[in-house]
Amino acid sequence: MALTPFEREAFLDRFEAGPALLRQAWNEFPGEARRWRPAEGKWSAHEVVVHCADSEAYGHTRIRLLLAEPAPLIVGYDENLWARTYDYHAHDVELAFRTVEAVRANTVALLRRLPDGAFGRAGRHTESGGYTDADWFRIYAEHLEVHAAQIRRNLAAWRSRT
Protein backbone atom coordinates (compact mmCIF):
# COMPACT_ATOMS: atom_id res chain seq x y z
CA MET A 1 0.00 0.00 0.00
CA ALA A 2 1.35 3.41 -0.99
CA LEU A 3 2.29 5.89 1.71
CA THR A 4 0.54 9.20 2.09
CA PRO A 5 2.77 12.28 1.83
CA PHE A 6 2.39 12.70 5.61
CA GLU A 7 3.47 9.09 6.30
CA ARG A 8 6.39 9.40 3.90
CA GLU A 9 7.53 12.61 5.60
CA ALA A 10 7.36 10.95 9.02
CA PHE A 11 9.51 8.06 7.77
CA LEU A 12 11.94 10.54 6.21
CA ASP A 13 12.25 12.39 9.52
CA ARG A 14 13.15 9.11 11.26
CA PHE A 15 15.49 8.19 8.41
CA GLU A 16 17.26 11.54 8.67
CA ALA A 17 17.66 11.22 12.46
CA GLY A 18 19.17 7.72 12.27
CA PRO A 19 22.88 8.58 11.95
CA ALA A 20 22.81 10.68 15.13
CA LEU A 21 21.14 7.81 17.02
CA LEU A 22 23.79 5.36 15.83
CA ARG A 23 26.61 7.74 16.74
CA GLN A 24 25.10 8.38 20.18
CA ALA A 25 24.92 4.64 20.94
CA TRP A 26 28.52 4.21 19.75
CA ASN A 27 29.73 7.08 21.94
CA GLU A 28 28.24 5.39 25.02
CA PHE A 29 30.45 2.35 24.43
CA PRO A 30 33.93 2.30 26.01
CA GLY A 31 36.68 2.09 23.42
CA GLU A 32 38.15 -1.12 24.79
CA ALA A 33 34.83 -2.94 24.36
CA ARG A 34 33.85 -1.83 20.86
CA ARG A 35 35.26 -4.98 19.21
CA TRP A 36 33.85 -7.36 21.84
CA ARG A 37 31.28 -9.86 20.55
CA PRO A 38 28.45 -10.81 22.91
CA ALA A 39 28.35 -14.40 21.61
CA GLU A 40 29.54 -16.68 18.83
CA GLY A 41 28.09 -15.45 15.55
CA LYS A 42 27.06 -12.06 17.00
CA TRP A 43 28.53 -8.76 15.88
CA SER A 44 30.60 -6.36 17.91
CA ALA A 45 29.57 -2.70 18.06
CA HIS A 46 32.33 -1.99 15.53
CA GLU A 47 30.94 -4.57 13.11
CA VAL A 48 27.42 -3.18 13.53
CA VAL A 49 28.56 0.28 12.43
CA VAL A 50 30.45 -1.05 9.41
CA HIS A 51 27.42 -3.14 8.44
CA CYS A 52 25.32 0.02 8.60
CA ALA A 53 27.65 1.74 6.13
CA ASP A 54 27.34 -1.14 3.66
CA SER A 55 23.59 -1.35 4.14
CA GLU A 56 23.10 2.39 3.67
CA ALA A 57 25.17 2.39 0.50
CA TYR A 58 23.02 -0.38 -0.90
CA GLY A 59 19.80 1.20 0.37
CA HIS A 60 20.82 4.35 -1.51
CA THR A 61 20.82 2.32 -4.72
CA ARG A 62 17.65 0.38 -3.91
CA ILE A 63 15.41 3.43 -3.59
CA ARG A 64 16.83 4.91 -6.78
CA LEU A 65 16.13 1.68 -8.66
CA LEU A 66 12.59 1.58 -7.28
CA LEU A 67 11.78 5.16 -8.22
CA ALA A 68 13.42 5.29 -11.65
CA GLU A 69 13.50 1.86 -13.26
CA PRO A 70 10.57 -0.07 -14.68
CA ALA A 71 10.09 -3.34 -12.72
CA PRO A 72 13.43 -3.19 -10.88
CA LEU A 73 15.01 -6.27 -9.33
CA ILE A 74 16.32 -5.67 -5.82
CA VAL A 75 19.01 -8.21 -5.03
CA GLY A 76 19.38 -9.46 -1.47
CA TYR A 77 22.73 -10.20 0.16
CA ASP A 78 24.09 -12.17 3.10
CA GLU A 79 25.11 -9.56 5.64
CA ASN A 80 26.99 -12.10 7.80
CA LEU A 81 28.99 -13.23 4.78
CA TRP A 82 29.87 -9.61 4.03
CA ALA A 83 31.01 -9.06 7.63
CA ARG A 84 33.36 -12.06 7.40
CA THR A 85 34.50 -11.55 3.80
CA TYR A 86 35.26 -7.87 4.27
CA ASP A 87 36.69 -8.27 7.80
CA TYR A 88 34.60 -5.52 9.34
CA HIS A 89 36.98 -5.18 12.29
CA ALA A 90 39.71 -4.10 9.88
CA HIS A 91 37.53 -1.30 8.49
CA ASP A 92 37.91 2.25 9.80
CA VAL A 93 34.80 2.86 11.88
CA GLU A 94 34.97 6.64 11.41
CA LEU A 95 34.95 6.15 7.66
CA ALA A 96 31.90 3.94 8.11
CA PHE A 97 30.16 6.67 10.12
CA ARG A 98 30.99 9.29 7.49
CA THR A 99 29.56 6.96 4.83
CA VAL A 100 26.32 6.51 6.77
CA GLU A 101 26.00 10.25 7.33
CA ALA A 102 26.80 11.27 3.75
CA VAL A 103 24.67 8.60 2.09
CA ARG A 104 21.68 9.35 4.29
CA ALA A 105 21.99 13.10 3.74
CA ASN A 106 22.19 12.56 -0.02
CA THR A 107 19.16 10.27 -0.05
CA VAL A 108 17.10 12.59 2.17
CA ALA A 109 17.82 15.53 -0.13
CA LEU A 110 16.75 13.51 -3.17
CA LEU A 111 13.56 12.14 -1.62
CA ARG A 112 12.45 15.48 -0.18
CA ARG A 113 12.67 17.19 -3.57
CA LEU A 114 10.71 14.58 -5.56
CA PRO A 115 7.04 15.28 -6.31
CA ASP A 116 4.36 13.06 -4.79
CA GLY A 117 3.81 11.43 -8.18
CA ALA A 118 7.32 9.94 -8.09
CA PHE A 119 6.28 7.53 -5.34
CA GLY A 120 4.08 4.45 -5.23
CA ARG A 121 6.47 2.32 -7.28
CA ALA A 122 7.19 -1.39 -6.98
CA GLY A 123 9.78 -3.94 -7.96
CA ARG A 124 10.75 -7.42 -6.88
CA HIS A 125 13.19 -8.48 -4.18
CA THR A 126 15.12 -11.70 -4.76
CA GLU A 127 14.39 -12.94 -1.23
CA SER A 128 11.07 -11.42 -0.20
CA GLY A 129 9.20 -11.02 -3.49
CA GLY A 130 7.22 -7.82 -4.06
CA TYR A 131 9.10 -4.74 -2.86
CA THR A 132 7.69 -1.23 -2.92
CA ASP A 133 9.03 2.17 -2.06
CA ALA A 134 6.75 2.01 1.01
CA ASP A 135 8.61 -1.17 2.06
CA TRP A 136 11.89 0.66 1.59
CA PHE A 137 10.75 3.58 3.75
CA ARG A 138 9.61 1.26 6.54
CA ILE A 139 12.79 -0.81 6.49
CA TYR A 140 15.32 1.99 6.25
CA ALA A 141 13.55 4.41 8.61
CA GLU A 142 14.05 1.91 11.43
CA HIS A 143 17.33 0.34 10.31
CA LEU A 144 19.70 2.56 12.28
CA GLU A 145 17.29 2.68 15.23
CA VAL A 146 17.45 -1.12 15.39
CA HIS A 147 21.24 -1.13 15.22
CA ALA A 148 21.62 1.62 17.82
CA ALA A 149 19.54 -0.59 20.13
CA GLN A 150 21.75 -3.56 19.22
CA ILE A 151 24.86 -1.60 20.21
CA ARG A 152 23.23 -0.74 23.54
CA ARG A 153 22.35 -4.40 24.13
CA ASN A 154 26.00 -5.27 23.43
CA LEU A 155 27.06 -2.67 25.98
CA ALA A 156 24.69 -4.09 28.60
CA ALA A 157 25.99 -7.61 27.90
CA TRP A 158 29.62 -6.41 28.07
CA ARG A 159 29.00 -4.72 31.42
CA SER A 160 27.29 -7.81 32.90
CA ARG A 161 29.74 -10.42 31.57
CA THR A 162 31.46 -11.06 34.92
From first to last of its 162 residues, the chain has per-residue pLDDT tens of 789 999 999 999 999 999 999 999 999 999 989 999 999 999 999 999 999 999 999 999 999 999 999 999 999 999 999 999 999 999 999 999 999 999 999 999 999 999 999 999 999 999 999 999 999 999 999 999 999 999 999 999 999 986
pLDDT at 7: 97
pLDDT at 161: 86
Q: Which domains does the chain have, with CATH numbers?
A: 5-159 (1.20.120.450)
Alpha carbon distance 135, 63 (integer Å):
10
Alpha carbon distance 107, 117 (integer Å):
17
Alpha carbon distance 1, 3 (integer Å):
7
Whole-prediction pTM: 0.95
Task: Calculate the CA 117 to chain-centre distance.
Answer: 25
Whole-number CA gyration radius for the chain: 17
